[in-house]
Structure 1
Amino acid sequence: MTLDTEISRERRINDVLYHIHRNLDGDLRVSGLAKVAAYSDFHFQRCFKVVTGESVNDYVRRTRLERCANLLVFNPTLSIQRAAAQCGLSSPASFSRSFKEYFGVSPKQWRNGGHRRYSAENLQQNWSDELRQQLTEPCHLAFPEVRIDVLQAQAVAYVRHRGYDRSINRAYDKLRVWAAMHGVPWQQDKLLGLLHSNPDIVPADACHYVACLQIEQENIRRGPVCFMTIPGGPHARLSVQGKFGDLLPVLHHFYHHWLPESGYILGNTPAFVGYRQCHFVDPDETFDLDLFVPISL
């Protein structure tokens, strides 16, 4: 396989992943996703697994179930059936069975506290001692003031990364090389990071992180780096400073304490951070950032 072919494959699958995450409540059958990638069904499924490490159906199923699990905890006024429908899990019997197979409890049990045991087991089994300590011990940072901002949509160049650990710096390295090759300004305060996964319920090596660089528009020629627009709208905004791992307990406190007491509910797009100083780029692993979490009423 030539380098150009490999780059094209990664770009096409990135387009599919973007489509999946924007349309979890829609029709995500293989045939339709193959058309997004401009591949035959058979070739698409093979390429998807090479790039992501999962089959198409497994990826879609897992992403929908994880999204639904978050809605059941963080949107307590949303009915279980409505939460499932918002994630494209429309058959009640099939949804309940799939949820229990994946999380070990029924959706109702999960909402009534079953998520706490699952979270504790996930952190114990799947996170490093360093990061588990950050998530399970009292946060040494004061919880920051939460402000409500209405954001504009932002065009970004991006590189996807699987795993929440220091290897995320490799995604930013790729962005920096790409920016130098195309004359795009490289500034830490133009860096963003999309947080697709809830670390409470997703193993560290399966968390999806998207390293982003703000750009003027999306129409730059594609290559190993892809492009998308991060949606705007109402977001809770928290300014946080610290070192690698310090953001995790802030996220936990926001979702499990501030959000349920705020009168807001979780929005449908991923949370993201905007850096003034990025710990995946900074040699001292220090960050200064704003955390943006989508919200609605």
Structure 2
Amino acid sequence: MLMSTSSLSRINDVLYEIHRDIAADLPAAHLARVAAFSEQHFHRVFAAHMGESVHRYIARIRMEQAANQLMFDHSSKVVDIALKCGYKSLSSFTRTFKSRMGMSPGEWRKHHAISAEPDFMQVPEISAGYRRIATSPLAAPTIIETQPKRVAYMRHQGYNRNIQKTWQTLVLWAYEHQIEDKNQFALLHSNPALVPLDECRYVACIATDKPLLKRSKVNSLVIPGGLHARFHLCGIYGEFIPYLNRIMTEWAPSSGFKLKTTPTWVEYKKNQFMDEQGRFDLLLFLPVSFY
């Protein structure tokens, strides 16, 4: 099915609705209304664009989030994590988790989470980056309350250098539409320690002070505000994922905070995908809560 610009914008609205709160009730009928499609047509368009059904997509996103929570939140009960990630009961969560992950949630938490070497270490640039920063002190974050931010955005699947093309397109779009605020952000929907790099979901964003009048491949959303742990990170391409992994494995479990299910995001001072030397200087915002 050839995806029209209008259909793409509508599916982007649905993805925003899903990722805004994965614990919410997300029946297909509701998502079809978000997209302004009939339910039958919505199923066809979503599957054509995403390569999987909406039910399978939501199930996968919830499972990834639950596995992520189990890895780094050692104080919450499994049932609380299941409910937090949109599951209705512990039994259904345990059954689904074991089917997908090959072990129970408790086994995952105890044995697999930190000990297994992430797949991203097979990428030479990233493994080299990990070796460079492995023994560097990890600076303590600042805990702050952030305000919601309206942004124009483009989605990209895969964490690789091809993200540069998405950024080039978005920056050109901002120039053509005379967007005065050129502040750059990114939403990180996936944990590369769990999700293969070519399946990671990345959202390139440029700040804008108003909704878009005409939508295309570029749409608008609001980055959620709330309590965040803010880390200042500097480095070169290949080092960002290792830094993120260290924060999640070294800082998060002993921080005293719980991870929220809203997206982790970054604010770029220097964007490694646009810098000629591939250098980054950014603020990483990890959504957290006390309870």
Q: Which runs of 5+ in 1 are unaligned?
A: none
The counterpart of 1:228, out of the listed 221, 231, 234, is 221
Deviation at 1:96, TM superposition (A): 1.3
Indicate the residue corresponding to 2:62 in structure 1: 64
8 A Cα contact 1:9 1:47, kept in partner: yes
Q: Does 1:207 align with 2:192?
A: no
Q: Is 1:276 aligned to residue 274 of structure 2?
A: no
Amino acid at match of 1:12: R
Indicate conservation of the 8 Å contact 2:22/2:261, yes or no: no
1:171 corresponds to which of 159, 166, 170: 166
Report the CA distance between 1:38 and its aligned residue. Answer: 1.0
Moved more, 201-210 or 213-222: 213-222
SS for the counterpart of 1:18 is helix
Q: 2:148 aligns with which of 147, 153, 159?
A: 153
Deviation at 1:219, TM superposition (A): 4.4
Q: Indicate the SS of the match to 1:166.
A: coil
**SS of the residue 2:99 aligns to:** helix
Deviations 1:172-200 (A, max 9, x none): 1221121122111363xx00011111111
| Contact 1:135-1:252 at 8 Å conserved across structures | no
Report runs of 4+ in structure 1 exceeding 3 Å deviation.
121-124, 132-138
Partner Cα distance (2:199, 2:172) in 1: 25
Deviation at 1:140, TM superposition (A): 5.8
Quote the Cα distance in structure 1 between the aligned partners of 2:8 and 2:85: 25
User: Could you tell me how far 1:60 is from its partner in structure 2?
Assistant: 0.4
CA RMSD, Structure 1 to Structure 2 (Å): 2.0
- Tell me the equivalent position of 2:107: 109
SS of the equivalent of 1:94 reads: helix
Percent identical across equivalent pairs?
38
**Contact 1:244/1:286 (<8 A) preserved:** yes
Which residue of 2 is the match for residue 78 of structure 1?
76
- Decide whether aligned partners of structure 1 residues 98 and 122 sit closer, same or farther in structure 2, where only a CA change above 3 A counts: farther
The TM-score, its normalising length taken from structure 1, stands at: 0.91
- Which residue number in structure 2 is paired with residue 96 of structure 1? 94
CA contact (8 A) 2:14 2:34 kept: yes
The separation in 1 between residues aligned to 2:81 and 2:105, in whole angstroms, is: 10
CA distance in 1, matches of 2:269, 2:15: 28
Residue aligned with 1:268, SS: coil
TM-score normalized by the length of structure 2: 0.93
1:151 & 1:137 partners in 2: Cα distance?
A: 31
Q: 1:262 corresponds to which letter in structure 2?
A: S
What secondary structure, in the 3-state scheme, does the structure 2 residue paired with 1:120 have?
Answer: coil
8 Å contact kept, 1:241–1:287: yes
Alignment of 1:6-155 (within 5 A): 6-116=4-114, 119-120=116-117, 122-123=119-120, 127-135=122-130, 139=134, 141-155=136-150
Query: Within the alignment, does 1:288 sit opposite 2:281 as a pair?
Result: yes
Q: Distance in 1 between matches of 2:114 and 2:22?
A: 25
Q: Is the 8 A contact 1:176 1:186 kept in 2?
A: no
Q: Distance in 2 between matches of 1:101 and 1:48?
A: 25
Question: Which range moved further: 216-225 or 34-43?
Answer: 216-225
SS of 1:84's partner is helix
Decide which moves more: 194-203 or 38-47: 38-47
Following superposition, the deviation at residue 53 of structure 1 comes to 2.1
Structure 1 CA distance for aligned equivalents of residues 114 and 225 of structure 2: 31
**Which moves more between the two structures, 5-14 or 200-209?**
5-14
Q: Give the equivalent residue in structure 2 for 1:249.
A: 242
Aligned CA distance change for structure 1 residues 48 and 269 (closer, same or farther; 3 Å): same
Kindly provide the CA deviation profile for residues 143-194 of structure 1, in whole angstroms up to 9, marking residues without a partner as x.
223111211111100111110000111211221121122111363xx00011
Three-state SS of the structure 2 residue aligned to 1:287 is: strand
> CA separation in 2, counterparts of 1:213 and 1:92?
40
Structure 1 position 42, deviation (Å): 2.2
Q: Which of the numbers 149, 158, 162 marks the counterpart of 2:157?
A: 162
Structure 2 counterpart of 1:251, one-letter code: L
| 1:273 partner letter | V
Unaligned runs of 5+ in 2: none
**Does the residue aligned with 1:289 lie in a helix, a strand or coil?**
strand
